[in-house]
């Protein structure tokens, strides 16, 4: 059996967003699921729009998501000589021809066809045919090279997403495959690359469906069997528009910076156009075990921020505390905060109430830096009637020695304070939470206090009297 070889072929124009990276996820997953090879090819021939910054986001995003290519990145700009070589081959076999039609003539032709309600297309003026006399070659005009598309018959392929697609060759005109300066055009480069890289499965966005019959014809002209195609439906944004940077799509690396887990992202993206029964939450390993091209969705998927957060929260909940704390530490390190071995239990205690690493880091921050107590919380909870109880708690906690600074002993101290002051637990717990963490909503108070050192607790409780 031939080895599966897939590729992701982004154009580095603008920062890749979730819609784009999903077009990397499936070819990557298919290669991994079948023991195949995943190739990265950067399609950077649009010199005006391609940027290094955009290449960097592609590479960083893929490495963050753990979608490293087995081969590449290959850059099309470094392969220009190869394209010229194959072009020469097509010229030799008479499958391309020079066309001297000027832009003005092309415009006039388009105008005429549009007025006659015909589809604008090149009319074959310069296409050599037996017995046909070509117009005289205008002087000083450099020709483009056009591909001699078959004039009859059908191009068809069995798309793994869309099913059988058939296009009549009469619908296709002769594509320009080299510009007047000899540089090859997009559809031609893609085919040469897919041939040279021995791609077996082209899995890409369905904005390329229209290119596919043209590409298949070029494959055939070069005597190579075209690959299997799977054209993925578009990803829409929350407003139902095609996701794009212009309408606010974020660069994929921004999700890393906002505290999403790579595995959660892979899980979420996987479901944007593929399914495994009703499974919503799965690990990377499960995904790779399950993935095949038979369950790709046919309709456009819509991005849903709340769902992404939910998926991330589920992954955070089940993630090992140690691994989680290492990721949270990176956020705290960035702010110059020195952490210690409490960070792991802190993550364990707070992770259930967080949907991003940033949210978890914000909780952890209370243990490693000063906090701001919002005035409205202070006024609401740290009321005159609890000040004595807070003082009592503080002095009792001060008497606990280091060995007794445990959740259990702290729970006993809290009970004693309640007994001695006749307050109810919430009356005491709310102000303590507000003073320690700036909010009345925290996990169980004894567990929270136990993770602070006694000095900080006493300091923060003292503020109550001011
Ligand atoms: N470079 C193209 C794009 O970014 C993809 C081409 C392909 O996958 O064949 O849309």
pLDDT in tens, 387-405: 999 999 999 999 999 999 9
pLDDT band for position 452 (cuts 50, 70, 90): very high
Q: Which of 13, 62, 205 to mutate to test the pocket of ligand 1 (most atoms within 8 A of CB)?
A: 205
Other C-beta atoms lying within 10 Å of the C-beta of residue 415: 12
Enumerate the domain spans of the chain. Answer: 5-75+186-236, 82-178, 252-368, 375-465
CATH placement of domain 375-465: 1.10.10.350
Instruction: Report the relative pairing of strands 144-147 and 71-75 from DSSP bridges.
Output: unpaired
CATH architecture of the domain formed by 252-368: Orthogonal Bundle (1.10)
- For residues 229-249, give the mean pLDDT: 91
Model confidence at 449: pLDDT above 80: yes
pLDDT band for position 463 (cuts 50, 70, 90): low
CATH architecture of the domain formed by 5-75+186-236: 3-Layer(aba) Sandwich (3.40)
Measuring from atom 7 of ligand 1, which residue has the nearest CA? 9
Q: Which of 21, 46, 190, 213 to mutate to test the pocket of ligand 1 (most atoms within 8 A of CB)?
A: 190
Q: Which atom of ligand 1 is nearest to the CA of 23?
A: 8
Q: For 22-26, 44-48, 189-193, which range has the lowest pLDDT when averaged over its residues?
A: 44-48
Q: Which atom of ligand 1 is nearest to the CA of 190?
A: 9
**Residue 177 and residue 185 in contact, taking contact as beta carbons nearer than 8 Å:** yes
d(CA 268, ligand 1 centre) in Å: 22
Break the chain down into helix, strand, coil percent, rounded to 5.
Answer: 50, 10, 35
Q: Which of 10, 211, 213 to mutate to test the pocket of ligand 1 (most atoms within 8 A of CB)?
A: 10
Model confidence at 465: pLDDT above 70: no
Contacts of 38 (CB under 8 A, 6+ apart): 6, 7, 8, 27, 28, 31, 32, 67, 69, 70, 71
Residue 74, φ and ψ in degrees, nearest 5 = -100, 145
pLDDT score of 244: 85
Residue 325 host element (H or E): helix 321-334
DSSP string for residues in 52-87: HHHHHHHHHHHHHTT---SEEEEEGGGGHHHHHHHH
Structure tokens, 118: 């015909």
Distance CA 231, CA 26 (A): 11
Q: What is the pTM of this model?
A: 0.93
* 389-405 burial: b if 16+ Cβ within 10 Å, else e: bbebbbebbeebeeeeb
pLDDT in tens, 93-120: 999 999 999 989 999 999 999 999 998 9
Percent of the chain with pLDDT over 90: 95
d(CA 260, ligand 1 centre) in Å: 26
d(CA 88, ligand 1 centre) in Å: 24
CATH 3.90.800.10 for the 82-178 domain, yes or no:
yes
Model confidence at 464: pLDDT above 70: no
Structure tokens, 85: 């070589």
**What is the residue-averaged pLDDT of the chain?**
96
Structure tokens, 290: 């399950």
């Amino acid at each position: 059996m031939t080895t599966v070889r897939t590729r992701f072929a982004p154009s580095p124009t603008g920062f890749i967003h979730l819609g784009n990276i999903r077009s990397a996820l499936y070819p990557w997953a298919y290669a991994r699921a079948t023991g195949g090879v995943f190739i990265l090819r950067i399609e950077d021939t649009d010199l005006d729009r391609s940027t290094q910054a955009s290449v960097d986001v592609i590479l960083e995003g893929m490495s963050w998501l753990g979608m490293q290519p087995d081969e590449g990145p290959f850059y099309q700009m470094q392969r220009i000589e190869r394209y010229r070589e194959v072009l020469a081959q097509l010229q030799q076999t008479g499958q391309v021809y020079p066309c001297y039609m000027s832009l003005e003539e092309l415009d006039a032709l388009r105008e005429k066809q549009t007025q006659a309600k015909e589809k604008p297309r090149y009319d074959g003026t310069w296409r050599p045919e037996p017995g046909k006399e070509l117009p005289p070659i205008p002087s000083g005009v450099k020709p483009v090279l056009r591909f001699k598309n078959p004039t009859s018959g059908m191009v068809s392929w069995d798309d793994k997403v869309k099913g059988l697609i058939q296009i009549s060759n009469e619908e296709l005109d002769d594509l320009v495959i080299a510009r007047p300066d000899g540089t090859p055009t997009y559809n031609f480069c893609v085919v040469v690359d897919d041939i040279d890289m021995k791609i077996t499965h082209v899995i890409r966005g369905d904005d390329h469906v229209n290119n596919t019959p043209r590409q298949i014809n070029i494959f055939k002209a070069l005597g190579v069997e075209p690959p299997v195609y799977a054209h993925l439906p578009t990803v829409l944004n929350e407003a139902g528009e095609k996701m794009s940077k212009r309408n606010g799509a974020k660069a994929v690396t921004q999700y890393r910076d906002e505290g999403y887990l790579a595995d959660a992202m892979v899980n979420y993206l996987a479901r944007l156009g593929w399914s495994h029964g009703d499974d919503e939450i799965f690990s990377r390993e499960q995904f790779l075990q399950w993935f095949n091209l038979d369950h790709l969705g046919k309709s456009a998927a819509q991005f849903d921020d709340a769902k992404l957060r939910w998926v991330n929260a589920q992954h955070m909940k089940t993630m090992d505390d140690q691994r989680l704390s290492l990721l949270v530490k990176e956020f705290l390190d960035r702010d110059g905060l020195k952490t210690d071995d409490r960070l792991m239990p802190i993550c364990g205690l707070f992770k259930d109430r967080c949907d991003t690493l940033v949210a978890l880091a914000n909780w952890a921050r209370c243990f490693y830096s000063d906090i701001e107590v919002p005035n409205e919380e202070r006024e609401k909870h740290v009321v005159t009637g609890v000040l004595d109880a807070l003082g009592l708690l503080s002095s009792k906690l001060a008497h606990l020695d280091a060995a007794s600074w445990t959740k259990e002993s702290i729970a006993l101290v809290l009970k004693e304070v309640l007994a001695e002051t006749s307050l109810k637990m919430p009356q005491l717990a709310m102000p303590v939470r507000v003073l320690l963490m700036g909010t009345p909503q925290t996990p169980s108070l004894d567990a929270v206090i136990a993770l602070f050192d006694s000095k900080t607790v006493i300091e923060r409780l003292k503020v109550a009297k001011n």
